[in-house]
Structure 1
Amino acid sequence: MQRWDRIEAFVEVVRLGTFAAAARHLKVSNSHVSRLVSQLENQLGTTLLYRTTRQIRLTDTGALYYEHCHHLFDGFREAEAAINDLQAQPKGVLRLTSATTFGERFIAPLINDFLCQHPQLEIRLHFTNRQVDIIDEGYDIAIRMGTLRDSTLIARRICERHEYVVGSPEYFTRMPQPHTLSELSRHRCLVGSRDLWRFDVDGVRREVRVEGPWEGNSGPALLDAALKGLGLAQLPDYYVDPYLASGELVSVLDAYRHDDTAVWAVYPRHRHRSPKVHQFIGYLIEHIGELLPVRR
């Protein structure tokens, strides 16, 4: 059976360069460290270290063994540090940015609840539909929607997000429901923050450029226009689910719905051990389902 204390003694001798330094680090005697390394060599049936009065030197076998073993103890230290960080109380200032409507409806209440539990924390919120550069602009976390671009940021999925093309029953008394993407060109499309609607065609993402008599960068205003029969709109589920359930809106082109559009919390890699970042994101994931509309 492998003895971890023997392996640890060997790793520390190599890492620190002497038996004495390893003994001080492990808080044991020099002779104890030397005995552990000898026991390990006997166990493996090979010499790991050349010992002289002035220095120690790895054998070829010892170098190979060290290369495989020292990562284990690096991992142990990182695991202990991560546990300590998670148990630490979040403090300081948490700077967060999010898309406006989603942030106001779902993120802000959870931030406020989290702050009630951790009054030593300070919050700085910024809601915008612009995709900010969170590193250059000094944010700890950004809440982002949809398919993420390739990035050096770390991303954690907060919840699912599905987009629907919807119209009111009154609108469909004047216009037939579309069944193919090519039919969208014959419809009055209400344009939100983008004029490219995303779809899935046989597993391949496709974007269709749309146009119509209405354009604006407000989700609630776009929803209101669709409810009043002004045309078709593509909106996420948390806008339209209640109205689809009540029959005030009708979903079309469901066969082409592009569903890979989750909500993400993204943050810089240098923040990956921050208690305020980790604990708040964990709180979001645990509780956001309590606020979201019931999925159809």
Structure 2
Amino acid sequence: MRDLNDLYYFAQVVEHGGFAAAERALGVPKSTLSRRVSMLEDQLGVRLLQRSTRRFAVTDVGRTYHAHCLAMIAEAEAAQEVVDRTRAEPQGTVRVSCPTALVPTRVGSVVTRYMAQHPRVTIRLEASNRRVDVIEEGYDLAIRVRMPPLEDSDLIVKVLESHGSALVASPAFLDRHGRPATPEELSALPAADMPRTGGDYVWRLYGPDGILRTVPHQPRLITEDMALLRDAALSGVAIAQLPHFIIDNYLAQGMLEALLPGWTLPAGVVHAVFPSRRGLVPAVRGFIDALAAEFAERPTTPCPANPAWIGGGPSLGL
């Protein structure tokens, strides 16, 4: 492909009526302009300009070629304007994947507020607990909830919030099965859980002494849907480990009870993943900033102070 700069230089020489005037307008030496136009003519195999020490004229084919060069320059400038506008003002489509339970509790309000503030932005949000391939499926970002360590990948990870969780059950369930006094008693209770890597279904709890207890269990219900886990606990089917932003209202209303007061579970993390910080268009960058502001302004129940982050816990919305 020919160097498009040569076409630009040729068009400018014609527009300014000669090499000397183009030199003054562009700040490019006349010798350079002459050489580049000569190279263009050699590549095309035609004479575009007739020039001598006293005469400058555009050939017939040169005039036709000049018209096409002007059209090319106009299209290039229009393309640059599109990029400049996109970089300056949030606009265009933002494609987001988000766990279902986060939409009504945290993310939905961010979406509507952000769209109201930026009327040229369109948001396509998939509310799903499916782990999407951000790059292959064309998402700008995915919001995920899981236990650390976070995934090892080429994606950029922005932590939005660390949150506490609790093992919960309905009062009716506990009236039937009894309220456990020790972690070991959890093994005998029907459970609902997220899918675990390698089928390693265990509850991990820290006692008042800071010592970790690991309690195996066999869940009756296995699902990636946090709302379904919550409903299983509310309906008295099973106990479940859930983040506080899902269960706090039900705990306050007495519809759920937290098991083993004084024992704590490892903290989870709400985070956004996206392909790269470089080249983020304003619409995507602004939406990520809006998410961060939402979680900073309305923090959920803080994480317990003593548990360390442990891998192998439930992965929500991955």
| Alpha carbons 2:164, 2:301 under 8 Å: kept | no
In structure 2, do the counterparts of structure 1 residues 227 and 183 end up closer, same or farther at CA, with 3 Å as the change threshold? Answer: same
Distance 2:268 2:289 in 1: 20
TM-score of the two chains, using structure 2 as the length reference: 0.57
The residue number in structure 2 matching 1:266 is 273
Task: Give the 5 Å matches for 1:1-296.
Answer: 88-146=88-146, 147=148, 148-194=150-196, 196-201=201-206, 209-253=216-260, 255-269=262-276, 271=278, 273-288=280-295
Return the offset for 1:253: 3.6
TM-score of the two chains, using structure 1 as the length reference: 0.61
| Deviations 1:69-116 (CA, angstroms, capped at 9, x unpaired) | xxxxxxxxxxxxxxx999821122111111122134421221121011
Identity among equivalent pairs (%): 32
Distance 1:85 1:198 in 2: 51
| Deviations 1:127-149 (CA, angstroms, capped at 9, x unpaired) | 21111110111111110102222
In structure 2, do the counterparts of structure 1 residues 187 and 294 end up closer, same or farther at CA, with 3 Å as the change threshold? Answer: closer
Secondary structure of 1:235 counterpart: strand
Return the offset for 1:173: 1.9
Distance 1:275 1:125 in 2: 18
Structure 2: 5+ residue stretches without partners: 1-26, 28-83, 304-318
Return the offset for 1:153: 1.4
| Deviations 1:176-211 (CA, angstroms, capped at 9, x unpaired) | 323443322211113455573552448798875532
Return the offset for 1:287: 2.4
Distance 1:209 1:224 in 2: 22
Relative contact order, higher structure (CA 8 A, sep 6+): 2
The number of residues matched between the two structures is 214
Of 102-111 and 161-170, more deviation after overlay is shown by 102-111
Distance 2:86 2:142 in 1: 20
Secondary structure of 1:114 counterpart: helix
Distance 2:273 2:241 in 1: 25
User: Considering only aligned residues, what root-mean-square deviation do their CA atoms show, in Å?
Assistant: 3.4
Distance 2:297 2:222 in 1: 32
| Alpha carbons 1:99, 1:144 under 8 Å: kept | yes
Letter in 2 for 1:281: I
| Alpha carbons 1:97, 1:128 under 8 Å: kept | yes
Q: Which has the higher helix share?
A: 1
Distance 1:214 1:275 in 2: 42
In structure 2, do the counterparts of structure 1 residues 271 and 121 end up closer, same or farther at CA, with 3 Å as the change threshold? Answer: farther
Secondary structure of 2:268 counterpart: coil
In structure 2, do the counterparts of structure 1 residues 197 and 234 end up closer, same or farther at CA, with 3 Å as the change threshold? Answer: farther
Letter in 1 for 2:264: R
Distance 1:191 1:139 in 2: 28
Secondary structure of 2:294 counterpart: helix
Distance 2:233 2:215 in 1: 19
Secondary structure of 1:262 counterpart: strand
Letter in 2 for 1:175: H
